[in-house]
A and B are shown apart, each in its own frame.
Chain A
Amino acid sequence: MSVEASCPACGAPIAFNIGSSIVVVCEFCHSVVARGDRKLEDLGKVAALVETNSPLDLGYRGVYQGVPFELTGRAQLGHQAGGMWDEWYASFGDGRWGWLAEAQGRFYLTFEQSIPEQTLIPPFEAIQPGMPIAALQTSVPMTVAETGIATQLGAKGEIPYRLTPGEEYEYADLSGPHGIFATLDYSESPPKVFVGREVTLADLGLGGAIAPQREARRVAATQLNCTQCGGPLELRAPDQSLRVACPNCGALLDVSQGRLEFMQALQPGKLVPAIPIGAVGELEGVKQMAIGAMVRSVEFDGVRYYWEEYLLYNAQIGFRWLVRSDDNWSYVVAVPPGDVFHKTGAFGGKGDTVQYQGEKYKLYQDAVVQVEYVIGEFYWKVECGEQTRAADYIHPPRMLSMEASMIRVSVEEVVEPEPTGKKKKTRKVRSAPTGEINWSLGTYIKHDEIENAFGITGLPRTSKIAPNQPFLHKKIYKYWLRLLAATFVLGVIILATGSRTKVFEQTFALQPVANAEGTQTIFTEPFALKSGRNIRVSAYSDLDNSWLYLEGDLINDATGDVQTFSMPVEYYHGVDDGESWSEGSKSPSLHLSALPEGQYMLRLEAQWEKWQQPATMSIQIYQGVPRILHLFLAMLFISIIPILVAFYQFSFEKRRWADSDYSPFGS
């Protein structure tokens, strides 16, 4: 039921249209008017809302999970590191209020969750980014993504809590897998808990929401000249940018207050961007503009290493990065911290890993990185010399990078005693830990793709291997296994279907010959050989520390073609130094290629060591004898290239990890 009243500050009409709203902002004087038990209370004036080109507006109606809602209020909150975000308040048909936070084109819808009294929410001072929070009744584990202090800046409409202009409060944003999101609001004790998830406008039934025809926040034309050199400045993402570097003089300017303000003097021309600022390229299927570039560095053993990062912007998808390091490139997208799982939350240390989307990423580098130089514009208050802790985890071609800012700020907390006397608070000044943890997913990208996307040429190539550079020949192992399996199956078929036909068998009694050089020649009766089948000739002689040598010929009766072969039969054994030994074989065999079909006779010429004595020998001839040796050779030949590739990969991986302090190959 709507309650109409007059603003206690200016007397203009105000209305509480939602029964459960706590304050309403006077449209005329921007006073925040709270309704109490008996009378209206003026909580002070808020600033007019800064235009952020949001696609949402008050009065928009949507449906979330089958429940209709209406956006009735909006607040703008300042971030301690600069910048701000919007919070929309949605009055649902079932009596609930939804908090819809909007930041950098992303939306997070949360609902206040009542928690049991015994639930132990860690105090703000005790939580750190990356820390798991187990106290919440969520289906998935949550980790702290950001801690900070928010300031109430501007507001409009009906709001479901007692919004005090200028009030600061501590908060912690938590992130869980699959877009689960939560906020701990430390404006009260115990803290309020809001749980929800990241949503799209389509999830809210606002997919068709069209940004009102507002002008994006613009710096006045006169202010688009550098305050230092007077040169022209173009803001390419005016509704998002908080910093811009003058391309003329290098001055770093603050644009967060709607006007340009000198921050730092940078040496112009220190960075010649490989991708020109303002260049538009199509990546991810959308056109993105390079709006800023920075040089960052890290120091190892007294040596500073530099790389470049290019900020890309598209109004629909937000920000992306292209990172150029040692002339290798990665395309980088922010990922929710809650989607990255670490077993302890204490990042770093040799062998450390994180899990993301079911894949394990290994720690590659963990260091303090520093901003060296910037050009163009940025969505945060970047400064040269700004330092963050960065840890890179790799799973080529991807790299997960964590950046954590762990800064301590002195804050002045102003809390007046409440008239109800419920909670007496005092004014105090103290230090509060604050920080933010950001995860981004970089994917190795080829030079050609960047050149094609941005229409540039001549990006320098390098032979240096990037931490997330994929080893391109990994597929070969998969094909290796498949080819081995195919060969094995074929081998089994061949072995199983071999005919192994015995075509000849005969035992011969050899008579003593005249001298050691004497031989005995035997011709057999003809026998048939079939074409297309190999031939195995086996001999046997019961020798004992002696030898018998056979020269053989398979003679085609019709053509006279002769296939010769020779076969020593020798067998020796004995005991040397107490150890028995033996060598040779009494029954050797050999294989011959298939011969043309026909009648063949066998000529054998035998010579043996004990020529004075008679000897016996047996000959067997088989056809269609499958060869395991051939199967083995085929598998060996199939394995040669993958084995060489494996050696190459080993070398590749060693070079990949050469710059890492956490190399599995040692230092």
Chain B
Amino acid sequence: MLTKAYLVIGAIIILSYGLVAFTGKEFGDPERQRVPADVRQSPGGYRSFHFWHSGYRGGK
């Protein structure tokens, strides 16, 4: 029983590995957002849109 279950799980793992590789999936992607259309269509829209930010993050 355990052996059969293991075979199924093993097959799922291999399939998942193949799927991840062939679809270009990565784990732990940072968040995705969307720039609203009106912002994009306005001049300099991207530059003025500051949903991203920043500040000090490096250093020893």
Contacts and interface: CB of A to CB of B under 8 A. Distances in A.
A608 B58 CA distance: 8
Contact of B58 (A548, A594, A603): A548
A563 B30 contact: yes
A523 B2 contact: no
A552 to B, nearest CB: 9
Interface residues of A, number: 64
Contacts of A630: 17, 20-21
A641 B6 contact: yes
Contact of A490 (B18, B31, B35): B18
A222 to B, nearest CB: 58
Contacts of A563: 29-30, 32
A234 interface: no
A560 B36 contact: yes
Given A517-B55, A562-B32, A570-B58, A490 B24 contact: no
Interface string B14-36: 10111011111110011111111
Interface in A565-586: 565-566, 568-570, 572
Interface stretch (A24-32, A47-55, A475-483): A475-483
A561 interface: yes
B32 A549 contact: no
B3 A473 contact: yes
B35 to A, nearest CB: 4
A43 interface: no
Given A516-B56, A521-B47, A638 B3 contact: no
Given A564-B32, A593-B26, A487 B56 contact: no
Contacts of A487: 13-14, 17
B17 A490 contact: yes
Contacts of B22: 494, 532
A383 to B, nearest CB: 46
Given A572-B60, A592-B26, A630-B21, A607 B32 contact: no
A479 B6 CA distance: 8
Interface string A540-559: 00000101110101010001
Contacts of B37: 560
B59 A570 contact: yes
Contact of A547 (B29, B53, B58): B58
B28 to A, nearest CB: 9
A486 interface: yes
A603 B52 contact: yes
A620 interface: no
Contacts of A569: 58
A553 B10 contact: no
Contacts of A627: 21, 26
A566 B58 CA distance: 11
A570 B60 contact: yes
Contact of B34 (A559, A565, A594, A642): A559
Contacts of B55: 517, 607
A534 B24 contact: yes
Contacts of A637: 13
13 contacts: A483-B10, A486-B14, A490-B14, A494-B18, A533-B24, A551-B53, A562-B35, A592-B30, A593-B24, A594-B25, A609-B58, A638-B13, A638-B14
Interface of A: 472-473, 475-476, 479-480, 483, 486-487, 490-491, 494, 516-517, 519, 521, 523, 531-535, 545, 547-549, 551, 553, 555, 559-566, 568-570, 572, 591-594, 601, 603, 605, 607-609, 623-624, 626-627, 630-631, 633-634, 637-638, 641-642, 645
**Complex A-B, nearest 10 residue pairs according to Cβ-Cβ distance, in ascending order:** A594-B24, A547-B58, A534-B24, A634-B17, A560-B35, A483-B10, A549-B58, A593-B26, A494-B21, A533-B24
Given A475-B3, A638-B14, 11 more contacts: A483-B11, A483-B13, A490-B21, A551-B52, A551-B54, A560-B40, A564-B30, A564-B33, A605-B53, A609-B59, A641-B6
